[in-house]
Amino acid sequence: MDINYFLLLKKKYNHILSNIETIIDDCDDISYYTDEYVSNTDKALRMIFNPELTKTKFKENKTHIEQMKALCIQYINSSCSHEFIEDQIDITPDTTKTIRYCKFCEELAR
């Protein structure tokens, strides 16, 4: 497979991971409201809206996506013919920093 495919996957996995973090945080909010509004005696309702179970499932999915992203990065690093370029980035209006990265895969030079 082409390296561009794995670069695309890496980008998509980053997007998924940022969204999954938001979902996990939302599960905490749901948990708070479930505790506040659903009585302990209403076990059926508590089982339907079980935010801890949902959160656990999304954490498992997050771990899986992180593993898939790591495999993509491993393939990219082993397949890319790195060509490093230097660039200036602004840290503050008065401060810049020079970075080196590959113009193909955007891997930072070490």
Does residue 86 carry a pLDDT above 70? Answer: yes
Half-sphere exposure (CA, 13 Å, Cβ side) for 100?
5
Q: Domain segments of the chain: what residues?
A: 3-79, 81-110
pLDDT at 40: 63
Rounded to the nearest 10 degrees, what angle do helices 3-37 and 51-79 cross at? 170
Greater pLDDT, 108 or 35 = 108
Instruction: Tell me the whole-structure pTM to 2 decimals.
Output: 0.70
Give tens-digit pLDDT for 25-74. 888 887 777 766 766 667 666 667 677 788 889 999 999 999 999 999 99
Q: What is the mean pLDDT of the chain?
A: 86
Q: How many whole angstroms from its chain centre is CA 31? A: 22
Give me the residue label for tokens 């809206």.
49
